[in-house]
């Protein structure tokens, strides 16, 4: 994995954008996108740029089950607000959290990814090493699936809701098998709360207990950190 340490999340977002822009100019057409606080500075860079996204396809990692697209906490809403309203894409896929048939929706999402192989996948990481909603213990070899969220994740997400009871208890999420098929991956992490997960992802064993550790087996991963998220990482991994 290539590790880039920047001073703060603004610079980290700008650095990630440089890579996205280069890949798009070199022909990348399908972007795997993520939500959460981490990618916000990257999306700000997209919006501030003159990059035209109208020929691009986006495929998002996940969506809560039970939230309508116009719910401000849904990932549909997040993407509209932070990116698509200002930079419309040719087509944007996000799992349908309101589906009546979650299994069929997961299967159809796998098919979408198969038909539109992801050129560049963006990821954040959870404090427990999760990627998307792939929590510790999730098998590495699965595709899009429904995830029951852990107490830790529900707690971490509750900051976006009025109270913890309103946080959805499950999500539809791309699996590690989908993510690993992306041609190129960028994982971003900012803040000291991510430092342990980053160390385990890069220095630790590849184990389903740390879902992000599977990325050690991908041939083209760039990790963009700020100094706080990089603080536990051995210097030899920083380049
Ligand atoms: P965050 O979440 O970007 O809001 O920190 C990332 C994640 O939990 O995957």
DSSP 3-state percent helix, strand, coil across the chain (nearest 5): 40, 20, 45
Pick the catalytic residue: 128, 134, 157, 178?
Answer: 128
Average pLDDT over residues 182-203: 98
Between 22-31, 128-137, 198-207, the lowest mean confidence (pLDDT) is in 128-137
User: Given this model, what pLDDT does residue 64 score?
Assistant: 94
Q: Is residue 228 part of a domain?
A: no
pLDDT of residue 30: 98
Examine residue 229 and state whether it is found in any structural domain, yes or no. Answer: no
Query: For ligand 1, which residues put their CB under 6 angstroms from it?
Result: 36-38, 124-126, 130
Q: Would you say residue 183 has pLDDT above 90?
A: yes
Instruction: Note down the domain range covering 88.
Output: 2-223
Is residue 236 assigned to a domain?
no
What is the predicted pLDDT for the residue at 150?
78
| pLDDT over threshold 80, residue 204 | yes
- Higher-confidence residue of 48 and 163: namely 48
CATH number at residue 114: 3.40.50.1360
Mean pLDDT of 49-71: 95
62 is catalytic: yes
Whether the Cβ atoms of residue 140 and residue 208 lie closer than 8 Å to each other:
yes
Residue with tokens 């996108």: 33
Per-chain mean pLDDT for the chain: 95
pLDDT digits (tens, 9 = 90+) for 68-111: 999 998 999 999 999 999 999 999 999 999 999 999 999 999 99
Distance 213 CA to ligand 1 centre (A): 16
233, part of any domain: no
**Ligand 1 pocket: which of 33, 36, 135 to mutate (most atoms within 8 A of CB):** 36
Q: Is residue 86 part of a domain?
A: yes
Task: Give the pLDDT mean for 157-163.
Answer: 81
What pLDDT sits at residue 209? 97
pTM of the model: 0.94
Q: Is residue 60 part of a domain?
A: yes
Report the atom number in ligand 1 closest to the C-alpha of 191.
5
For the segment 182-202, the average pLDDT, to the nearest whole number, is 98
Domain count for the chain, please give it: 1
Identify the active-site residue in 60, 62, 96, 119.
62
Pocket test for ligand 1, best of 13, 32, 37, 38 (most atoms within 8 A of CB): 38
* Ligand 1 center from residue 110 Cα (angstroms): 23
d(CA 202, CA 11): 22
* pLDDT given at position 239: 67
pLDDT of residue 198: 98
- Cα dihedral sign, 50-89-57-124: positive
- Any domain includes 231: no
Q: Which of 96, 135, 200, 226 is catalytic?
A: 135
Question: Cα separation of 68 and 132, whole Å?
Answer: 19
List residues bridging with 209 in a β-sheet. none
Q: Is residue 237 part of a domain?
A: no
pLDDT at 174: 98
What percent of the chain stands above pLDDT 90? 87
């Amino acid at each position: 994995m290539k590790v880039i340490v920047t001073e703060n999340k603004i610079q980290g977002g700008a650095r990630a954008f440089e890579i996205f822009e280069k890949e798009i100019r070199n022909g990348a057409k399908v972007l795997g996108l993520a939500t959460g606080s981490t990618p916000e500075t990257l999306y700000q860079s997209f919006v501030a740029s003159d990059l035209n996204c109208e020929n691009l396809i986006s495929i998002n990692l996940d969506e809560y089950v039970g939230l309508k697209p116009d719910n401000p906490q849904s990932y549909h809403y997040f993407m509209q607000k932070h990116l698509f309203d200002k930079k419309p894409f040719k087509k944007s896929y996000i799992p349908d959290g309101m589906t009546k048939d979650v299994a069929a929706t997961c299967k159809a999402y796998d098919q979408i990814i198969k038909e539109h192989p992801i050129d560049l996948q963006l990821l954040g990481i959870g404090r427990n090493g999760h990627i998307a909603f792939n929590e510790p213990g999730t098998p590495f070899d699965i595709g899009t699936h429904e995830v029951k969220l852990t107490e830790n994740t529900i707690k971490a997400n509750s900051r976006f809701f009025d109270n913890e009871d309103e946080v959805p208890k499950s999500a539809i999420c791309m699996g590690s098998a989908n993510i690993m098929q992306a041609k190129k991956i960028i994982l971003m992490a900012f803040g000291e709360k991510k430092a342990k997960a980053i160390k385990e992802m890069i220095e630790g064993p590849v184990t389903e207990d740390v879902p992000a550790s599977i990325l050690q087996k991908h041939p083209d991963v760039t990790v963009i950190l700020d100094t706080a998220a990089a603080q536990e990482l051995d210097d030899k991994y920083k380049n």
